């Protein structure tokens, strides 16, 4: 059956995604049939099947629509839009920051597919005129007819970082933005430059930009890490009774209470501060602090080992491999290993794989002496000034006066698609059973073989 939706130009507060539930009438209007009979023969659209949803937008000069992309899962790949009454310039922006402006003439049809459909934001500026080839065009009242085909199975596109069927959660991301959680910190990755450390033990880089930072930010970090990710939750909920689960790099113990009636979970983290927070949450949590590259856990004793957002903190391949080796060693033959690492391919442009990601530690969580010190000139004692300055320099932090935060840098090696799999391919006794993208992480579920 057919859906028809007529609406006024959306304001910025409205949801970007087309709500297929706003049903007005159940038939595509007669006047659209002629256009559709021509459009339905076009390559791509012919294979996809006829359009069965129509959205009509009515734009007065000066009205536009903010940057958005059409949610993947409700509709098939190809959709098209007929531009009536006036031409208009449509703007496109990619997640990498590239921009394009395309003039859509009156009575033209624009067809969206592929990368433009799945991974670029499109928008129309709220203005009364457009400039095309040096000429000014005054907009008239414009009516767009956008035809889509409703989709009934999950999206399997090649752009998982925007795909709601493959782990992208736009509503969740907006919530997190407001709470100052994970998403804000991904805004600027500061490139680290060349990593020259070769060894398989944590270097000064890990100590300064991972271990020390987590110890410092532990309470604030824990405050923003409260929601277990659904896929990990359901993985844990599906395990056999009495499974022994070790969470290597458990942070604030987010996954320790999952399915606790059935599982025996043990958590460990290199940050003793975070482990203390685990215990504050629940004194029954079994936790201890330890180095994940050399675990004080017996061989082959766990049914499952999980490593969620941990291995990306190691600055060279030798350490990352070693982390996976340790996960393997402690897991019994036939047991499973679940690894999540931050993806390079996500809707924030990181620029390079090795980055410092800022953490804004609110003043209330920070020591007074760090907050009160600034590198500005003061009328202080020369000696005091110098030692204060060196303390800030030693910590390598900045004071963000506007946001009232101390900014710490955390080191990340962002994984490219396939990189995690290629690391695992170098190790024996591991079989990749599942490989996927979830919430801006590349993930694998492994089986330990004999």
Partner 1 sequence: MRLLSHNLLMCNVKGCSENNYPLRILVQKSKIIEAELNPDFLRKLVTKLDWKGLHTTLISLDFHKFPEQLAEDDWKNEEFLKELHNVLMQTHIIEGKLVCPNCQREYPIVNGIPNMILKDSELK
Question: Total number of residues binding partner 1 (CB under 8 A)?
Answer: 33
Cβ proximity to partner 1: between 206 and 419 the closer is 206
| Residues 386, 388, 393, 397, Cα dihedral to 10° | -150
Indicate the angle between helix axes 272-281 and 212-224, nearest 10 degrees: 30
Check if the beta carbon of residue 190 is closer than 8 Å to that of residue 335. no
- Closest approach, Cβ 431 to partner 1, in A, equals 22
Stretch that binds partner 1, among 56-64, 153-161, 240-248, 392-400 (CB under 8 A): 240-248
Q: Which residues contact 162 (CB under 8 A, 6 or more apart)?
A: 69, 72, 95, 118, 119, 168, 347
Cβ proximity to partner 1: between 291 and 381 the closer is 291
Provide the token pair at 267: 């958590």
Check if the beta carbon of residue 287 is closer than 8 Å to that of residue 250. yes
Cβ proximity to partner 1: between 98 and 299 the closer is 299
- Closest approach, Cβ 226 to partner 1, in A, equals 21
3-state secondary structure of 322: helix
Q: Does the footprint of partner 1 cover residue 239 (CB under 8 A)? A: no
DSSP 165: G
Select from 13, 21, 41, 242 the one that contacts partner 1 (CB under 8 A): 242
Check if the beta carbon of residue 226 is closer than 8 Å to that of residue 172. no
Cβ proximity to partner 1: between 115 and 280 the closer is 280
Show the binding pattern over residues 248-287: x = contacts partner 1 (CB under 8 A), - = does not: -------------xx-x-x-x-x-x--xx--x---xx-xx
3-state secondary structure of 399: strand
**Scanning the structure block, which residue is given the tokens 């047991």?**
335
- Closest approach, Cβ 161 to partner 1, in A, equals 35
Residue 171 phi/psi, 5-degree rounding, is -70, -45
CA–CA distance, 285 with 264 (Å, rounded to integer): 10
Cβ proximity to partner 1: between 186 and 270 the closer is 270
Residues numbered 280-319 forming contacts with partner 1, rule: CB under 8 A: 283-284, 286-291, 293-298, 301-303
Cβ proximity to partner 1: between 221 and 350 the closer is 221
- Closest approach, Cβ 293 to partner 1, in A, equals 8
- Closest approach, Cβ 295 to partner 1, in A, equals 6
Residues numbered 153-212 forming contacts with partner 1, rule: CB under 8 A: 201-202
Cβ proximity to partner 1: between 246 and 308 the closer is 246
CA–CA distance, 380 with 301 (Å, rounded to integer): 59
CA–CA distance, 29 with 31 (Å, rounded to integer): 6
From 358, 284, 300, select the one nearest 334 (Cα to Cα): 300
Check if the beta carbon of residue 243 is closer than 8 Å to that of residue 265. no
- The residues binding partner 1 (CB under 8 A) are 201-202, 241-242, 244, 246, 261-262, 264, 266, 268, 270, 272, 275-276, 279, 283-284, 286-291, 293-298, 301-303
């Amino acid at each position: 059956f057919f859906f028809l939706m007529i609406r006024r130009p959306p304001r910025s507060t409205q949801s970007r995604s087309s709500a297929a539930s706003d049903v007005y009438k159940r038939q595509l209007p007669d006047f659209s049939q002629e256009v559709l009979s021509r459009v339905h023969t076009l390559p791509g659209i012919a294979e996809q099947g006829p359009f069965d949803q129509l959205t009509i937008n009515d734009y007065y000069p000066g009205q536009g629509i903010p940057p958005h992309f059409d949610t993947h899962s409700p509709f098939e790949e190809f959709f098209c839009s007929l531009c009536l009454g006036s031409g208009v310039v449509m703007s496109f922006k990619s997640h990498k920051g590239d921009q394009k402006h395309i003039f859509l003439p009156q009575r033209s049809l624009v067809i969206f597919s592929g990368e433009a459909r799945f991974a670029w934001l499109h928008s129309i500026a709220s203005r009364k005129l457009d400039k095309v080839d040096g000429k000014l065009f005054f907009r008239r009242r414009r009516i767009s007819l956008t035809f889509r085909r409703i989709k009934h199975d999950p999206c399997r596109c090649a752009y998982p970082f925007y795909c709601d069927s493959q782990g992208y959660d736009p509503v969740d991301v907006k919530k997190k933005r407001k709470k100052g959680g994970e998403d804000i910190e991904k805004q600027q990755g500061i490139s680290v430059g060349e990593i020259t450390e070769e060894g398989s033990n944590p270097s000064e880089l890990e100590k300064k930009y991972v271990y020390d930072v987590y110890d410092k930010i532990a309470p604030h970090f824990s405050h923003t890490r409260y929601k277990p990710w659904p896929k990990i939750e359901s993985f844990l909920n599906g395990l056999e009774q009495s499974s022994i689960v070790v969470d290597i790099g458990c942070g604030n113990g987010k996954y320790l209470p999952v399915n606790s009636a059935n599982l025996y979970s043990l958590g460990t983290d290199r940050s003793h501060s975070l482990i203390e927070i685990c215990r504050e949450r629940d004194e029954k949590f079994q936790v201890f602090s330890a180095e994940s590259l050399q675990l004080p856990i017996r061989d082959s004793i766990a049914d499952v080992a999980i490593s969620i957002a941990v291995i990306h903190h190691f600055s060279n391949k030798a350490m990352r491999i070693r982390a996976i080796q340790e996960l393997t060693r402690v897991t019994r033959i036939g047991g499973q290993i679940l690894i999540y690492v931050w993806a390079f391919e996500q809707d924030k442009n990181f620029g390079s794989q090795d980055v410092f990601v800022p953490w804004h530690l609110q003043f209330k969580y920070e020591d007074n002496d760090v907050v009160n010190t600034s590198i500005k000139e003061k009328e202080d004692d020369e000696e005091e000034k110098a030692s204060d300055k060196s303390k800030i320099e030693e910590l390598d932090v900045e004071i963000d006066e506007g946001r009232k935060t101390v900014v710490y840098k955390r080191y990340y090696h962002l994984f490219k698609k396939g990189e995690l799999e290629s690391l695992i391919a170098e190790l024996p006794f591991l079989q990749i059973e599942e490989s996927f993208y979830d919430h801006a992480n590349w993930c694998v579920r492994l089986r330990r073989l004999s």
